[in-house]
Structure 1
Amino acid sequence: MNSGPQTLTDTDRELIEAARSTIDAHTDASSLADPGVHTMGAAARDVDGRIHVGVNLAHFTGGPCAELVALGAARANGARHIETIVAVGNYGRGVVGPCGRDRQILFDYHRGVRVLVPTADGVRALLIEDLMPYATAWTIEGGTQPYDRERFGP
């Protein structure tokens, strides 16, 4: 399934702006040196084109990342399928790739979702499968699943 990095579309740039404006409006850090609790914003676009946003809640127990908050907000607002997601840091840090836990959750719950990530060539869109080569899928019904050739190819 690996398709490689894709250049951004206008709707991708709109999604980045939604995440950026969300964290700019709601960060509690007074500067980059201030270890605030709300330092990342995320935006997820569902297949109907609606944008759902969230901010992180840093905590020593591993509080939820902004991407997970945005996914929860999307679900609470009726979205069942997410098309694209992005996270942006406060104070102009720009697009930040999802952590390992977020990648696994996106992989398990949103097959084929496009994830906007920073690359050497600027921000690009990648399918979650491209960020998780040879990953082990998990489902509520069946737990850990065997390697899926259809999802990753030979």
Structure 2
Amino acid sequence: MTGVPARALTDDDHALIAFARAIVDANTDGEAGVHTMGAAVRGTDGQMYGGINLYHFLGGPCAELVALGHARASGARALSTIVAVGNFGRGPVGPCGRDRQILFDYHPRIRVILPTPAGIRTVRIVDLMPLAARWTVDEGTQEFDPSLFE
């Protein structure tokens, strides 16, 4: 992640990590750890929404996507920050490629809490998706838009 602007964590970021950790700790299925990731997303109004992954050999939804769905079902449309936390004391984990694209498409201004060479930091999703093309329901895949990266 050389050259990607990262920001130190705020008290709100630490609270979001703790919220995600509580979700995964309360819902991990024993030592097998079928539910291995918890996630939390914060709305711009400060409200937090959580999710847990649904492990399935066909590829169940990631915890981040469940948290996004929870926020949306609760009426949240503007989101500021998201984090996923592993079970058994593992810390924040960066989103997979599918999650990154969905975050970029639906919430291009969101910050992601993840490990960096400088420690746990927040990074704008647009900085994790260099030269990405945005997708919308109405228009499909869009041309590259450099204004998203300003």
Give the alignment's TM-score, normalised by structure 1: 0.92
Tell me the distance in 2 between the aligned counterparts of 1:82 and 1:61. 29
What letter corresponds to residue 149 of structure 1 in structure 2?
P
1:51 pairs with 15, 30, 48, which one? 48
1:152 shift after superposition: 2.8
Aligned residues: 148
2:145 pairs with 107, 123, 148, which one? 148
Q: Which runs of 5+ in 2 are unaligned?
A: none
2:83 pairs with 56, 65, 86, which one? 86
1:24 shift after superposition: 0.4
Note the 1:66-145 alignment, pairs <5 A: 66-145=63-142
3-state DSSP class of the match of 1:126?
A: strand
Q: Is the CA contact (8 Å cut-off) linking 1:29 and 1:38 kept in structure 2?
A: no
Note the 1:11-50 alignment, pairs <5 A: 11-30=12-31, 34=32, 36-50=33-47
3-state DSSP class of the match of 1:58?
A: coil
1:3 shift after superposition: 7.0
What letter corresponds to residue 50 of structure 2 in structure 1?
V
3-state DSSP class of the match of 2:12?
A: helix
User: How high is the sequence identity, in percent, across the aligned residues?
Assistant: 60
What letter corresponds to residue 55 of structure 1 in structure 2?
I
Tell me the distance in 2 between the aligned counterparts of 1:22 and 1:151. 32
Q: Which runs of 5+ in 1 are unaligned?
A: none
1:111 shift after superposition: 1.4
1:13-41 per-residue CA deviation (whole Å, 9 max, x = no partner) reads: 000000001100111132xxx2x321100
4+ aligned runs moved over 2 Å, structure 1: none
What letter corresponds to residue 9 of structure 1 in structure 2?
T
How large is the RMSD of aligned CA atoms in angstroms? Answer: 1.3
Tell me the distance in 2 between the aligned counterparts of 1:106 and 1:91. 26
1:61 shift after superposition: 1.8
